[in-house]
Structure formats: structure tokens, C-alpha cells
Amino acid sequence: MISVPQHSYCLRFALIFQKDGCNSAEMCNFDPMSKIIMITGGQRSGKSSYAELLALRLSDRPVYIATARVCDDEFAERVARHQARRGPQWTNIEEERHLSRHDLTGRVVLVDCVTLWCTNFLFGACKGDELPDIGQVLDDVKTEFDKLVAQNATFIFVTNEIGSGGVSSNALQRRFTDLQGWMNQYVASHADTVILMVSGIPVTIKEDHEKI
């Protein structure tokens, strides 16, 4: 079972409430205020599982925002299976780009994931064979992020480290790698806590007091 590191300020709340016999932060009338937790890592590193565990420790009724585009019936069935697996305590929201239009005040919100969120903005900016303006796409994602986290809530963002391998020969893929890397930096700069998942092990790489 994945454990939550005790040296992280935001996550330490969850353990304190558990120790006091509470099932969640909200059951103890804990006001999550505006907290941002970023969980990053490679493919199958355990990011989503850890994020879900954390959200359930912080709330007995967390919100799950899925940014994946439901493109066909098979994928829709996959989404339904994931929702059923998570259980009825979750509020499930399917939203490709405009996350901030949902009222999330006072909730613990898991956004899975930033990578697909950026992908949706990127393809929305594509016009035929012309490569999109990555600077403008980045500004659009940042603007939506700022609107989202302006709400008084705790946000857990799951993202991917996709730029650790070789350089792609595809021009659009190279631009997306840039977009993802820059957006990851932006989210991390606003986050109270950043956790890197390595082979299922959470490694805290930023504490709340380092927020800039």
C-alpha cells in the first residue's frame, strides 16, 4: 500500500485526522482553503493511484475531474469502469478544457491529468497543416489554470514527465513536449507541495514553504 509522506505540510493534515479517528478532513470540519498539490512522474509510476488515495484521505467526498476526450463508445465504457471502480463517494466531472466553469468551492479536487488537458488545448488550436502557436496555447492553459485555482479549494494535479527521453522527430510532438514542460513548471511554481512518483514511491521535491 502506498503511504503518504509525513514531512509534507498539506499531506500531514490527512494523517493527523486519521490519527484522531476521523475518516476525512471534511468530517473534522477542516477548511482546505486554497492548496495546490502537484503529483508528477513517468508512465505507470503510480501517480493516479497515489493521487486518489490522497484525495480520499483529505475528503470523504472528493471531486474527480477527468480531462480525457471521450472519442468513441469503447473509451466511454472505459470511463464508466473507472468511475465504478472509484466508488459513489466521488463526484465525477468530464471536462476537456474549461475546468474553471465548475463551482468547486470548499472541495478536494483531483485533476487527472494536466497532460491531456494541454493536449486538448493544443488540438483545439490546430488549423490544418499549420503548426499551432505554442506560446498562445500555453497562455490559454495558464489563464484557465489561474481561474480554476482562484477558487477556495484543495487541488491535486496529476501530470507527466514526458521530456526525459529523446527528442522526437515530429515537429508537433516537439512543440507539445515544450508545452507540457512549461506548463508543469508553471503548476509547480504555484504548488504548495510537489511529489515525484518513482516506481510507485512518492518523493516530495517541494514543500509548501518553498512556494514562489
Catalytically annotated residues: 82
Q: Is 89 helix (H, G, I), strand (E, B) or coil?
A: coil
Task: Write out the three cell numbers for 110.
Answer: 483531483
**DSSP class of residue 131?**
P
- Distance CA(71)–CA(68), nearest Å, equals 9
Residues 56, 80, 37, 99: what is their CA dihedral angle, to the nearest 10 degrees? -130
Contact between 99 and 144 (Cβ < 8 Å): yes
Q: Are β-strands 201-206 and 91-94 bridged in parallel, bridged antiparallel, or unpaired?
A: unpaired
